[in-house]
Amino acid sequence: MNQKVKYFEAFFHKAILLFGVSLFSFCSYAQPKYGKNLVPNPGFETHKNKANSITNAVPWRNVGTVDYYMKPDKKDTSKFKGARTGTCYGGLRFQPEYKEYMYVGLNEPLKAGKIYYFKMFVRLLGQSTVTVKQLGVYFSPDVFQVGMVFDEEGLIDSTYKKGLSGSGWLAIQGEYHAHGGEKYIIIGNFKTKMKEDMVKRNKWEMFELREAYYFLDDVSVREKLVEIDSSANGNSGGEPKWIPYSFDTGLTFEIKNLFFEKGTSKLLSTSNKSLDDLAKALIEHPSAELQISGHMDKFGDETEEKRISKERAKAVYDYLKTKGVVNLMTFKGLGSSQPVAPNDSEEYKEKNRRIEIYIIKE
């Protein structure tokens, strides 16, 4: 009798363990996916003339004199100069008694109860004498009006006590729970007293003009979708999950399962499946214009990092061409300037060695 009990207990524990593993496996396949970008002209690439106001990047509007660049500005002298992607970008200026906003109407109003993911990239101008602690976006049902109140429920921002600084592009991002009917996004600083939100870069300088200037690029608002995959239906054919189901303007995604010979731009044959899948998807979207961006981990020689990253991007470009891809494509090497992880372990360095596709125009 005791042996039967022990046998039953062992069987029961094993069944529970297997159930737990199965449940974990199922849940681990739950991956968030995102809908189309609701921001019109998200990378500011479309413009009506050669004016230097952000209003030239239709349909964006401004409060103040928000700048617009179609090529790197003369003051923009850092190694990251120019747009993050494409060629065009904007610029916001903040002074103790002056601040600028830029805003745009979304392609469709937000739906009540839905979660949306916002993301944009900013970069501090090197000559700025101060930084701001807060920069973000406000979701509004109404167009911008002087004196409007910005409540915290409608705000996504990045706040740093020491100010938003650094020489490279910084992502400001977050999830927004929609009340329903939000039609506009307003970008800027939403503190009541601008002076109190500034941090001096040189604390010993007493008489310089206090001004923070941030470049801005690649704005997106996407509905968060959740697709549940299981081992039974997640790998039964069709497009790989890393390939987007729509090639929306401003979208960036990484090519998965891509392999090169170490330290070179030679593609390994194990990359063919991913590139063939990508080629097939692009052939189905021939009007999409894209930039192939190569990225490397930091290994010491900046010139070499850029060279290898550019050659790897070109290798992908050449492969896609051989597969009949007719999309308008460019390639670019960014070296180690845009890491997605610290360069302090081989695991993280591997994440930084990547090839990304940026959709310039759908």
Coil vs helix vs strand at 299: coil
**How many CA atoms, within 13 angstroms, populate the side-chain half-sphere of residue 28?**
7
The backbone torsions φ and ψ at residue 220, rounded to the nearest 5 degrees and listed phi first, read: -145, 145
The C-alpha atoms of residue 83 and residue 80 are separated, in whole angstroms, by 8
* Statement: residue 233 has pLDDT above 80: no
pLDDT at residue 201 in the model: 82
The reported pLDDT for the residue numbered 238 is 52
Indicate whether 285 pLDDT > 60.
yes
- In the β-sheet with 252-254, what is the strand arrangement from edge to edge? 252-254, 354-361, 289-295, 329-333
Buried b (16+ CB within 10 A) or exposed e, 92-115: bbbbeeebbbbbbbbeeebeeeeb
Ramachandran category for residue 263: left, alpha or beta (phi over 0 → left; psi -120 to 50 → alpha): left
| pLDDT tens-digit map of 185-229 | 999 999 988 889 999 887 766 667 889 999 999 999 999 886 433
- The tokens describing 172, both together, are 């400001």
pLDDT of residue 204: 65
* Distance of alpha carbon 304 from alpha carbon 335, whole angstroms: 8
pLDDT of residue 358: 92
pLDDT band with cut points at 50, 70 and 90 for residue 5: very low
Tell me, what's the pLDDT at 147?
84
Residue 93 pLDDT > 70, yes or no? yes
Write down the pLDDT at residue 239. 61
- Band of residue 95 on the pLDDT scale cut at 50, 70, 90: very high
**Of 238 and 276, which is predicted with more confidence?**
276
**Do the beta carbons of residue 155 and residue 190 sit within 8 Å?**
yes
Residue of 226, 207, 282 whose CA lies nearest to 251: 282
Distances (CA, A) of 161 to 133, 199, 254: 6, 8, 32
Q: CA of 328: how far to CAs of 16, 30, 62, 84, in Å? A: 54, 34, 32, 19
Share the mean pLDDT of the chain.
Answer: 84
pLDDT tens readout for residues 104-133:
999 999 999 899 999 999 999 989 999 999
Q: Are 128 and 213 in contact (CB under 8 A)?
A: yes
Only one residue has tokens 């310089």, namely 208
Residues 6+ apart with CB under 8 A from 356: 252, 253, 254, 255, 292, 293, 295
CA distances from 118 to 151, 175, 176, 275, 288 (A): 17, 6, 7, 29, 23
- Tell whether omega for the bond before 59 is within 30 degrees of 0, i.e. cis: yes
| pLDDT score at 2 | 47
How far apart are alpha carbons 151 and 145 in whole angstroms?
Answer: 14
Q: Which residue has the tokens 């891809």?
A: 325
The SS3 call for residue 57 is: coil
Mean pLDDT, rounded, for 239-256:
83
Please check the confidence at residue 12 and state whether its pLDDT lies above 50.
no
Q: Please report the domains of the chain, with CATH numbers, ordered by start residue.
A: 54-224 (2.60.120.260), 238-361 (3.30.1330.60)
pLDDT at 228: 38
The string of pLDDT tens digits covering residues 341-359 is 887 788 888 888 999 999 9
pLDDT of 98 above 80 = yes
Radius of gyration of the chain (CA): 24
What is the rounded average pLDDT of the residues 150-165?
84
Model confidence at 61, in pLDDT bands (50, 70, 90)? Answer: very high
Maximum CA extent, the chain = 91
Highest mean pLDDT (candidates 159-163, 165-169, 242-246, 310-314): 310-314
